[in-house]
Amino acid sequence: MPPFLKEFLKKESSVGILLMIATVLAMLFANSPLHNLYDYFLETPFEVRLGRDLHIAKPLLLWVNDGLMAVFFFLIGLEVKREVLVGQLSSRAQIILPGVAALGGMVVPALIYVLINAGDIAALNGWAIPAATDIAFALGVLALLGDRVPPSLKIFLLALAIMDDLGAIVIIALFYSGDLSISMLVMAHLCLLVLFILNRMKVENLAPYLWIGAFLWVFVLKSGVHATLAGVALAFAIPLHSKKRPGYSPLEYFEHELHPWVNYLILPVFAFANAGIPLAGMGIGDLFHPVPLGIMLGLVIGKLVGVYGFSTLAIKLGIAQLPARATSRHLFGVAALCGIGFTMSLFIGGLAFEHIGGDAEAYLLTHRIGILSGSLIAGIGGYLILKLTPPARQPVPGAQGPASDSPGSNS
């Protein structure tokens, strides 16, 4: 591998840059003479058959959204489990601020979307679209700022994003599952039982987990529950610690192995497959259609108000503390960055509008306009706020507590 490529992949901003490149390429393909090739690629049929009854036939786009994204959710599940057991979410003190911020960042954007789209039953299916945060893009923008922001802000953003992802998982399970097949659900529960037994028996060989996880994905897919949730369930079954090899973690091994595949392949492929919006016949007025407007305002204003407002309230009430060496302006900038929805918003938007009937194509098109424009505005706004915020003050030698100029600080 060329040295410049190795150096690029080491940077925290590289994932966000790759997602941006994939998005631009998708837009170029969708709005050029190559649009037929782009559509042909996404609609290419791909089938898997096992015996007479087990048959999965989907276009390539749905294999990306149901299959590759299950691996993405598997990685999220691994991160959530590790953080809850030994990481940033393992104690009450650590979980309060990002937990409250994530709650505000889901509730307020959803309310804004619902208020703008009240009366349109089909459009209301998309209420959860602006509730999502794209951690790869948000961290990528944060990385561009270097030491202008304290390291504790990255930890806060990571913890918030994990809580946000956990909320998205619950939303998908409760609100975006189709007609349920009882027989497939029974088979899925049997797989979960086997995974639970493997975990309780402290089985460290990862192959049985993967085989059972593959069957679990098929049964969940056929059950009507969204298939990506199989990835989360499988992740929770992977052991954190090893009895036979002290210091080795099967869960962390999986995390380490999956990160490059997810960051540099799965997420860019997902972005390329879902971000291509044909702009022919569109004008600036399309941004003010209730669906894209609700998403855009939910991401830009709702996330900012929800994350910053709920966090500030928790700090003022004395139940949480600002991240070390951070100020209220830092928190305001990070809250703005949380409005970058992109990957998760595109994913939830596809679930929200794919089965609504004849107007599905129109909603699937317009919601992506809102996501891309809202994420762009939030990303630029958050970057500028943090760029113009004075660098975090270094702690004074001998001083106690973190330095901060915020009224909510403990210094």
**Number of domains observed in the structure of the chain:** 1
| Cα–Cα distance measured from residue 245 to residue 169, given in angstroms and rounded to the nearest whole number | 32
Q: How many residues does the chain have?
A: 411
**What CATH number does residue 58 fall under?**
1.20.1530.10
- 241 in a domain, yes or no? no
* Rounded average pLDDT over 203-231: 89
Does some domain include residue 59? Answer: yes
Query: Percent of the chain beyond pLDDT 90?
Result: 33
CA nearest 100: which of 318, 350, 389, 260? 318
Cβ(242)–Cβ(248) under 8 Å?
A: yes
User: What pLDDT is stored for residue 12 in this prediction?
Assistant: 63
Where is pLDDT greater, at 170 or 357? Answer: 170
Mapped onto helix, strand or coil, the DSSP state of residue 56 is strand
Using CA atoms, how far residue 197 sits from 117, 212, 239, in Å, is 46, 12, 11
Higher model confidence: residue 149 or residue 240?
A: 240
- Establish if 289 belongs to a structural domain: yes
| Domain extent for 108 | 22-171+262-388
> Is the model more confident about 355 or about 34?
34
The model carries a pTM of 0.77
Residue 11 lies in a domain: no
Count other Cβ atoms within 10 Å, centred on residue 378.
29
Residue 286 in any domain: the answer is: yes
Calpha distance 227→219 (Å, rounded): 8
290 located within any domain:
yes
199 within a domain of the structure (yes/no): no
DSSP code string of 221-286? HHHTS-THHHHHHHHHHS-SS-SSSTT--HHHHHHHHHHHHIIIIIHHHHHHHH-----TT--GGG
Rg (CA), the chain: 22
Residue 1 lies in a domain: no
> Would you say residue 268 has pLDDT above 60?
yes
